[in-house]
Structure 1
Amino acid sequence: MNKRCRRATRVAVLQPLVTGTISLQGPRHERRVADGQAVAVGRLERTQLGTMDIEAYFERIGYQKSSNKLDLQTLTEILQHQIRAIPFENLNIHCGKTMELSLEDTFHQIVRKKRGGWCLQVNHILYWALTMIGFEATMLGGRVYVPSACKYSNTMIHLLLQVTISGKTYIVDSAFPFSCQLWEPLELTSGKDQPQVPAIFHLTEENGTWYLEQTKRQEYVPNQEFIDSNFLEKNTHRKIYSFTLEPRTIEDFQSISTYYQVSPSVMTNTSLCSLHTQDGVHGLMGTILAYKKFNYKDNIDLVEFKILKEEEIEEVLKRVFGIHLETKLVPKCGNVLFTI
């Protein structure tokens, strides 16, 4: 066990920062900062925007602006509304369709058709929304930890965001499956435990590379048939992904997006869907439906499993995940990378 895996649990409280106001003024948006200066951020050309509407996005995630301030509270509220409304899912691959990366295609899929997407889509739409209202956001690229190989992926396969508020930097991620999903922005601080509802998250920096890890609770599984399931995380401490602070664009992920859709990978081997609630997370892996309720009892999470018949999946997708598929899903459950 390396030094990142040996640490005591400490309680850290995130203090909201108040700064700036939201301003929507056509294709160029400004963030008014504390000293009164206007900084242009999120400048998107009209050809990119097309008919995309930030209010339609807010309606999609059920967010009614409680504040017009560009502060940590607003950022947290938008993140939490998104992870409870927009699923992480790769179902297009298993419906014979392509996962498109363009902003217009992503908006059409997620907002207009009320679907979800994988990180390259879901965090892309979040990046667009944050910059549209004036947040200072940057795309970053991550390498996901592969437990079976005991190493991080060889290539950058995960999109996450860096958001700066009044000089303080946070990591924001709305698109990692199941209980590895952040519920709040993480302070970009090395060596600090940051407790959230799903788990205690921890960032460590070494030679310019940042590592995200978590310490989870014990789990109670009523259905003993699943006590040894590969979808249960056996370790209390787990590595999630690594990343650097080098700015990225969506084009940087195009080749890996194509590869993961046509080559043997976790995305082609397993059909996935994950959606968070007020107290837990739903997961669908192939024909296995799971629900984890966080902190069901003191320091214990409840994890329930059910094997679905193939004809039940369409109804479950509609009822649990809010997804209506236009073509038939071929559920698949292969190599396990993500655990509930």
Structure 2
Amino acid sequence: MTSVDMDVEKYLRRIGFGGSAAEPSLELLRSVHSCHLLSVPFEDLTVHSGGRVQLSLPELFHKIVNQRRGGFCFENNSLFSWLLMELGFQVTVLSGQVKNSLTGLYGPPHDHVIMMVHLEGRRWLCDVGFGVPGFRVPLSLDTGGLQEQGHRVYRIRKSTEMHFMEWQKEENRGEAGDWTEIYKFTLEPRRLEDFTEMCQYHQSSPSSIFFCKSLCTVLKPYGRLTYIGRKLTTTRFPSEATGGVLETSTRDLTDEEIPHVLAEEFGIVLPSPLIPKDETITPLPVLY
């Protein structure tokens, strides 16, 4: 690949940020985090169109900013951490282990890349590379209390050195509601190079959702749009228009429709033909 000019202003235009980025602030952090999620899809389509993901920042910039693509956690969060550092934030890269909602198993170490930002004496968890049920703006690492974002409630529970990012589903909201663990992590600093092996694993293992399913999802002001295999699902968050309930509708897609849906709904045009895939994930035999 030819040399890539990694320009901060071009990145900010890509995510639709129109404010001031002169100095690091909580307002700026929240804004770019939200803008990224509303503009850059969480997707693994490279894996299913004959390519391989490499954790090179210039390549990620070219893909996400210049080609207006998305990526999975290793791509979105790696590039977003670069943006935050360029904007003057103090960023620490962290390693997360995602809990499989079907098996109850946690992924291996370095299964998920996330970030901690130190700002004005406080610590914030940032993650623009998760998909559902990711949080729209950074979560405080300095409280174990409820953190509400629209119709969703999150908390970060600490047990010795391990932190657990959890959320409440819409029907379970409240102090006494059931909590669902999303992933666990420590605050031990990591390097982006530490995730290289797991990045390759997620592109080749039948225990990884990214190998088993071609997917693309993006946050919308009204909810979320998700493509998996040969289906497109529209989720509308509770509002007056939905009668205060979460609405979900799904339609089947033909192979011929999929490229048009990706282009029209997600702004993605792939350089090679996509092979749609939606296979059952093989559970890992080890509980981490």
- Per the normalisation by structure 2, the TM-score is 0.90
Structure 1 partner of 2:188? 246
Q: Is 1:256 the counterpart of 2:198 in the alignment?
A: yes
Structure 1 partner of 2:285? none
The 3-state SS of whatever aligns with 2:39 is coil
Moved more, 145-154 or 81-90: 145-154
After superposition, where does 1:16-95 map in structure 2 within 5 Å? 51-66=5-20, 68-95=22-49
Q: How far apart in 2 are the matches of 1:55 and 1:129? A: 10
After superposition, where does 1:126-205 map in structure 2 within 5 Å? 126-178=80-132, 180-197=133-150, 199-205=152-158
CA contact (8 A) 1:198 1:280 kept: no
The change in CA–CA distance for 1:198 and 1:143 in structure 2 (over 3 A counts) is: farther
Q: Deviation digits for residues 116-159 of structure 1, max 9, x if unmatched?
A: 01100101111111100101111111000012321312332101
CA contact (8 A) 1:172 1:184 kept: yes
Q: How many residues align?
A: 273
Of 276, 279, 283 in structure 1, the residue corresponding to residue 222 of structure 2 is 279
Q: Deviation digits for residues 142-190 of structure 1, max 9, x if unmatched?
A: 0000123213123321011101110100001111113x11111100034
The change in CA–CA distance for 1:291 and 1:192 in structure 2 (over 3 A counts) is: same
Q: How far apart in 1 are the matches of 2:109 and 2:82? A: 24
Aligned-residue offset at 1:299: 4.9
CA contact (8 A) 1:190 1:205 kept: no
Give the unaligned 5+ runs of structure 1.
1-48, 220-234
Q: How far apart in 1 are the matches of 2:63 and 2:265? A: 18
The 3-state SS of whatever aligns with 1:152 is coil
Aligned-residue offset at 1:65: 2.2
Identity among equivalent pairs (%): 32
Q: How far apart in 1 are the matches of 2:4 and 2:229? A: 36
CA contact (8 A) 1:217 1:236 kept: no
Q: Deviation digits for residues 46-69 of structure 1, max 9, x if unmatched?
A: xxx952111110111111124533
Aligned-residue offset at 1:107: 0.5
The 3-state SS of whatever aligns with 1:189 is coil
Structure 2 partner of 1:40? none
User: Partner amino acid for 2:163?
Assistant: W
Q: Is 1:288 the counterpart of 2:231 in the alignment?
A: yes
Structure 2 partner of 1:20? none
Q: How far apart in 1 are the matches of 2:141 and 2:280? A: 32
- CA RMSD in angstroms, aligned pairs only: 1.9
Structure 2 partner of 1:121? 75
Q: How far apart in 2 are the matches of 1:147 and 1:82? A: 26
Structure 2 partner of 1:217? 170
Q: Is 1:305 the counterpart of 2:250 in the alignment?
A: yes
Of 267, 270, 277 in structure 2, the residue corresponding to residue 332 of structure 1 is 277
CA contact (8 A) 2:23 2:88 kept: no
Aligned-residue offset at 1:258: 1.2
User: Partner amino acid for 2:191?
Assistant: T
The 3-state SS of whatever aligns with 1:283 is strand
Aligned-residue offset at 1:71: 1.2
Give the unaligned 5+ runs of structure 2.
283-288
Q: How far apart in 2 are the matches of 1:189 and 1:125? A: 25
Q: How far apart in 1 are the matches of 2:234 and 2:137? A: 20
- Per the normalisation by structure 1, the TM-score is 0.76
Q: How far apart in 2 are the matches of 1:245 and 1:98? A: 29
